[in-house]
């Protein structure tokens, strides 16, 4: 895992109150680099999210096969933070690792599974499914 996701895990463990964790998620979202307006296309929109979420993937061919780099954004503060967590976990990894990665285990470790609304949980799952589908597509092609 990347140093960024390790830092997020450590920061979540340090914060006792869920209100503080939500604030931290919002700060993570604010730290995302801005997504170019041209990337906010229908093709990059993640289906199954109550908020608007966009994910763009870029495939890099490496000696070990394709690796994927993601950019993302959302129109909702907490969801933008969830996008930041997902990108920290997945971006830059080889496609095989992305497909095998246990995102649900990470979300349980962070406590997100029990503290997100069902709509946000569904949206987070939709993001993960989209990322894994992009990785499978990169391997196939």
pLDDT at 118 over 90: no
Contacts of 32 (CB under 8 A, 6+ apart): 72, 73, 80, 83, 84, 87
Active site residue 49: yes
Distance CA 91, CA 128 (A): 12
Pick the catalytic residue from 49, 87, 112, 135: 49
Report the number of distinct structural domains present in the chain: 1
**Structural domain boundaries, residue 122:** 3-140
Query: What confidence tens digit (pLDDT) does each residue in 36-61 have?
Result: 999 999 999 999 878 899 999 999 99
The CATH number of the domain where 22 resides is what? 3.90.1010.10
User: Is 91 in contact with 70 (CB distance < 8 Å)?
Assistant: yes
Phi, psi of 72 (to 5 degrees): -160, 165
- Rounded to two decimals, what is the model's pTM? 0.93
């Amino acid at each position: 895992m990347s140093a960024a996701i390790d830092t997020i895990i450590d920061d979540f463990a340090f914060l006792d109150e869920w209100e503080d964790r939500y604030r931290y998620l919002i700060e993570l979202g604010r730290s995302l680099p801005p997504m170019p307006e041209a990337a906010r296309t229908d093709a990059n929109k993640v289906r199954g999210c109550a908020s608007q979420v966009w994910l763009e993937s870029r495939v890099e061919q490496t000696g070990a096969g394709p690796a994927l780099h993601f950019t993302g954004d959302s129109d909702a503060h907490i969801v933008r933070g969830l996008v930041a967590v997902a990108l920290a976990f997945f971006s830059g990894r080889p496609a095989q690792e992305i497909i095998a990665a246990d995102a649900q285990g990470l979300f349980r470790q962070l406590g997100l599974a029990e503290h997100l609304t069902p709509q946000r949980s569904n949206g987070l799952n939709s993001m993960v499914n989209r990322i894994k589908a992009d990785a499978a597509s990169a391997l196939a092609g």
